[in-house]
A and B are shown apart, each in its own frame.
Chain A
Amino acid sequence: MKPLKNNVQSLPRVQLTAASHKPFQNIMKKVKPNGGKLLSKKDQPEIFFILTADLPPEELSKLLQAKKGVTVNLTDNLLKRLLKLEKDYHYLRALSLTDELTGLYNKRFFNKQLKIEITRTRRTGQPFCLMFIDLDNFKSVNDTLGHTKGDEFLVNLCRLFCQKIRPTDFACRYGGDEFIIIMPATYLVDGISIAQRWHDLIKQVASQMELDVSSSIGIDEFDISCTLKAEEFLDKVDKELYKAKNNGKNKVSYPGGSLHAHEAEEKFVTPAEKDALYKGSATIKQKRKQLSTKG
């Protein structure tokens, strides 16, 4: 399978710094007093490029002095070469962050994104959910029907993942038959209902392929009061997954033992809903007052 198109597009784009670029020329003046042009031995004009992703000037000048860049002769087909370089770069970048078989994000991307989401929650106060999916009985498919069939199932499953996933969520393949979904700006109660949907979806794909595969899912919410580090939070969700596994598999497990009414209200009733309830209650009070003054 090709790497997913939207995965590639979401990566940061690389900037090319050309000799004609103003800030570049300024730096060049410092490095080489005669300006932006580098002259070759034969006095043939050449342009020196450095591929950067927003380097600070000090870094850039270091690179220039070390001549770590691409020197291009003007007689070359410059444009073609640059385009190829950029294409290669994106391809390699995508390759390094996606899973080869399924096209989902890989573990490397996940580890990075998890840290980003934790920082985001600390900054914005909006919680995010993490869902850990482990397929039940998947090993027996590989063992009895062969790895080709197993791979086919995974590819079908992940194709569906990509179709059904909310555009803001990230689906990652963590290991062989383990998947993780990051759901930014999501409350636990919404996360749980999404987890139930995924659970049903996986069953559906399995039954279409006439395989006896189900899924165990663990899910938890990271909210602003949470002080865990990325790895610790992942462990917590992992424990939730094992709870599902130990309770007979084929189910969604989430932390629920500690929710009390006031917390529940905070977590589950949105400000708009609360507002509406309060307003409704206020009109009742008004009516009561009117009745009592009339009486």
Chain B
Amino acid sequence: MNTKSKPFIVSVTSGKGGVGKTFITTNLAATLVRQGKKVLVADCDLGLANIDIMLGINPQLNLKDVVFGNLHLRDVIIPTEGGFDLIPASSGVREMAQLLFEKIQIIKDMLLEIEGYDLILLDTGAGIAEVVLQFNLLASQNIVVINKELTSLTDAYAMVKVMYQVFGRQSFSIIANNIPNEKDGLNIYKNIDTISRRFLGFPLNYLGHVLQDDAVAKSMLKQEIAVMRFPRSRIAANFSQIGRTVLDLRKS
């Protein structure tokens, strides 16, 4: 098989909800598109999917039709304004939140079959549910999003620990989101990195930070992607930096 057509699968995860996984995923995807890559985003937050809401779109088909219908993932892919393609999930369908193991396997297998993209970003749900772990396992790189709240740090650490102890994962990348200044981001990263080295025995990788910015709230209200709406903002620069680091990871 042609290895060039195999997409690089990256999951965006956190442990805690509300730290900005979906924000990071959409903006990172849009940034990577601007850097000339073909990107697919899969909304893997099966219980409370919200990428479609964030982008202000109302997809006809979603992941539910794949799980309970006879469709392939390819059939539900839709293009977005950000230039990347999206596999939307369904929000609020109770059965989706606790999918059977075999159903998850089916989705995972289908994701691996998809070709024609440089990268696939998986936006996972919050918490340490089996579904989340399985999607993290599928991805060759896990991005763990943290912010300056202590609970986000402990939950992120719990995620790293579980992925390590259950599946032997030892490579994680940290993004510090919504932080007041550059130094704070580095300090937060250093804190969790020290703990990981000490208790788990391996270092964490730092992808970079996304600063606090009014542009985020403004674009969120208008259901737009921040880096598209404000291409000259500080956070657009942050995302370009992170995008380049992700592409470096892919090469190595």
Checking A247, A262, A287 against B187 with a beta-carbon cut-off of 8 angstroms, the contacting residue is: A287
Determine the interface band of chain A, counting residues with CB < 8 A from chain B. Answer: 20 to 34
CA distance A278 to B188 in the complex (A): 11
Q: Is the CB of A284 within 8 A of B17?
A: no
Given A193-B165, A259-B127, residue A284 in contact with residue B16 (CB < 8 A): no
- 20 residue pairs A–B, Cβ–Cβ below 8 Å: A189-B165, A190-B165, A243-B101, A259-B130, A260-B126, A260-B128, A264-B159, A268-B128, A273-B195, A274-B154, A276-B195, A276-B198, A277-B150, A277-B153, A277-B192, A280-B191, A280-B194, A281-B153, A284-B187, A287-B187
**A11 contacts B by Cβ under 8 Å:** no
Given A189-B166, A193-B166, A277-B150, residue A288 in contact with residue B128 (CB < 8 A): no
B residues 179-238 near A (Cβ < 8 Å) are 184, 187-188, 190-192, 194-195, 198-199
Q: Is the CB of B191 within 8 A of A265?
A: no
Chain B nearest CB: distance from A272 CB in Å? Answer: 8
Nearest first, the 5 closest Cβ-Cβ pairs linking A and B are A280-B191, A256-B130, A264-B128, A260-B127, A261-B127
**A172 contacts B by Cβ under 8 Å:** no
Q: Is the CB of A280 within 8 A of B127?
A: no
Q: Is the CB of B17 within 8 A of A261?
A: yes
Determine the interface band of chain B, counting residues with CB < 8 A from chain A. Answer: 35 or more
Checking B129, B154, B199 against A260 with a beta-carbon cut-off of 8 angstroms, the contacting residue is: B129
Q: Is the CB of A264 within 8 A of B155?
A: yes
CA distance A263 to B153 in the complex (A): 15
Given A277-B157, A284-B187, residue A257 in contact with residue B165 (CB < 8 A): no
Q: Is the CB of A281 within 8 A of B191?
A: yes
**B161 contacts A by Cβ under 8 Å:** yes
Contacts of A264 in B (CB 8 A): 15, 127-128, 155, 158-159, 162
Contacts of A193 in B (CB 8 A): 165-166
Q: Is the CB of A256 within 8 A of B133?
A: yes
Chain A residues within CB distance 8 Å of chain B? 189-190, 192-193, 196, 243, 247, 253, 256-265, 268-270, 272-274, 276-278, 280-281, 284, 287-288
Contacts of B192 in A (CB 8 A): 277, 280
Q: Residues 136-164 of chain B: 1 if any A CB is under 8 Å from the residue's CB, otherwise 0? A: 00000000000000110111011101100
Q: Is the CB of B161 within 8 A of A259?
A: no
**B98 contacts A by Cβ under 8 Å:** yes
Given A189-B165, A190-B165, A268-B128, residue A261 in contact with residue B155 (CB < 8 A): yes
Chain B residues within CB distance 8 Å of chain A? 15-17, 98, 101-102, 105, 126-131, 133, 150-151, 153-155, 157-159, 161-162, 165-166, 184, 187-188, 190-192, 194-195, 198-199
15 additional A-B pairs beyond A193-B165, A260-B129, A264-B128, beta carbons within 8 Å, are A189-B162, A196-B166, A256-B133, A261-B155, A263-B128, A264-B15, A264-B155, A268-B128, A269-B154, A270-B199, A273-B161, A277-B195, A280-B191, A280-B194, A281-B188
CA distance A270 to B127 in the complex (A): 17
Chain B nearest CB: distance from A157 CB in Å? Answer: 23
Q: Is the CB of B133 within 8 A of A261?
A: no
CA distance A49 to B158 in the complex (A): 60
Contacts of B102 in A (CB 8 A): 247
Checking A257, A259, A272, A284 against B191 with a beta-carbon cut-off of 8 angstroms, the contacting residue is: A284
Contacts of B155 in A (CB 8 A): 261-262, 264-265
Checking A192, A277, A288 against B154 with a beta-carbon cut-off of 8 angstroms, the contacting residue is: A277
Contacts of A257 in B (CB 8 A): 98, 129-131
Contacts of A278 in B (CB 8 A): 150
Contacts of A272 in B (CB 8 A): 199
Contacts of B130 in A (CB 8 A): 256-257, 259
Chain B nearest CB: distance from A270 CB in Å? Answer: 8
Checking B16, B98, B150, B199 against A261 with a beta-carbon cut-off of 8 angstroms, the contacting residue is: B16
Contacts of B188 in A (CB 8 A): 281, 284
Contacts of A287 in B (CB 8 A): 187
